């Protein structure tokens, strides 16, 4: 019996290019700090089948392009990825698409003597900003996001009414701590005019809405709070078609202080790090276009 083997889907590039850009037009410096991955798609059959590298834009060249483009400034992770995608697809005929991804780390000015310092910064540990661009021929998909945005509410959360079977030990509660690390990714409508979008403003606004959504209502479950958070974003942003979440339910267990003759009226908790509930869902417009190609390769979301 003979088998024939053919080349399936493929992409390649440079992963995790760490680039820090200091803008020093004046004594008051600005910092941009990114981790960028570039992957090209197109006709790379000869490289795989024949060892012919005529189409292989070296991963080293892709890395250098990222550094060279940073010389002009980054602006926003989304704008930076759009520039890279346009460059590679327009410069090389056989590059028909690709995937470009960035994480961006934010820095605050160090407050010294009552003012933000001109050139000394402290990493803002709140969350990591993310962006993914997928180009497929004439179609462009762009997904903004964030991860590790840790939030907690100390009341206005409960969990009751769930089915009880012989394995159920969890007591119902109408007053518990709700805590999670928000990971969210929001996809812009296909065909959005990205040149008209202020991505940094968009990011700040969506993050603000997510945080507001977390606070606003009594939470009957993290699932409900997730949906509320997503709804707020879609209501306010017509350019966004869907938002996906992955959120651990970071359990806080009341400590039994009775051995020490003390009561514990919901004040002292054991913050468990594992196991944790893991709540994942998409909130989308009813008429959103399916965009599986945009999401494939993004781990940790359903």
Ligand X SMILES: O=c1[nH]c(=O)c2[nH]c(=O)[nH]c2[nH]1
* Distance in Å, CB of 157 to ligand X, minimum: 8
* Distance in Å, CB of 298 to ligand X, minimum: 23
Residue 248 and residue 261: Cα distance in Å, rounded? Answer: 34
Positive or negative: CA dihedral 231, 233, 235, 240: negative
Of 22, 205, 27, nearest to 116 (Cα)? Answer: 27
- Active-site positions read 14, 59, 251
Q: Residue 283 CB: number of other CB atoms within 10 A?
A: 20
Of 199, 190, 219, nearest to 131 (Cα)? Answer: 199
* Distance in Å, CB of 277 to ligand X, minimum: 5
Nearer to ligand X, 132 or 247 (CB): 247
Of 235, 247, 231, nearest to 283 (Cα)? Answer: 231
* Distance in Å, CB of 222 to ligand X, minimum: 4
Of 247, 39, 260, 290, nearest to 152 (Cα)? Answer: 247
Nearer to ligand X, 7 or 170 (CB): 170
Nearer to ligand X, 59 or 249 (CB): 249
Q: Which two tokens stand for residue 201?
A: 């403003």
DSSP class of residue 179? E
Q: Which residue has the tokens 């913050």?
A: 271
Binding site for ligand X (CB under 6 A): 159, 170, 221-223, 249, 277
Nearer to ligand X, 171 or 191 (CB): 171
């Amino acid at each position: 019996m003979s088998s024939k083997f053919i080349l399936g889907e493929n992409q390649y590039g440079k992963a995790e290019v760490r680039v820090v850009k200091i803008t020093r037009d004046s004594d008051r410096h600005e910092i941009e700090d990114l981790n960028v991955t570039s992957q090209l798609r197109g006709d790379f059959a000869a490289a795989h089948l024949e060892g012919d590298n005529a189409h292989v834009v070296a991963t080293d060249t892709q890395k250098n392009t990222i550094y060279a483009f940073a010389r002009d400034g980054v602006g926003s992770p989304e704008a930076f990825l759009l520039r890279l995608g346009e460059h590679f697809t327009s410069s090389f005929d056989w590059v028909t698409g690709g995937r470009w991804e960035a994480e961006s780390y934010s820095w605050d000015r160090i407050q010294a003597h009552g003012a933000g310092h001109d050139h000394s910064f402290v990493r803002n540990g709140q969350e990591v900003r993310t962006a993914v661009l997928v180009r497929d021929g004439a179609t462009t998909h762009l997904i903004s996001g964030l991860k590790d945005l840790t939030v907690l509410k100390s009341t206005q959360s409960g969990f009751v009414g769930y089915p009880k079977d012989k394995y159920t030990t969890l007591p119902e509660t109408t007053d518990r701590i709700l805590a999670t690390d928000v990971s969210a990714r929001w996809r812009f409508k296909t065909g959005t005019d990205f040149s008209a979008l202020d991505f940094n403003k968009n990011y700040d606004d969506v993050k603000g809405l997510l945080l507001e959504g977390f606070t606003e209502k009594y939470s009957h479950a993290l699932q409900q709070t997730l949906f509320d958070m997503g709804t707020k974003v879609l209501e306010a942003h017509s350019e966004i078609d869907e938002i996906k979440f992955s959120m651990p339910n970071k359990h806080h267990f009341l400590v039994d202080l009775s051995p020490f003759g003390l009561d514990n009226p919901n004040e002292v908790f054991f913050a468990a790090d594992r196991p944790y509930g893991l709540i994942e869902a998409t909130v989308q417009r009813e008429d959103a276009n399916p965009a599986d190609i945009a999401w494939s390769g993004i781990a940790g979301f359903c």
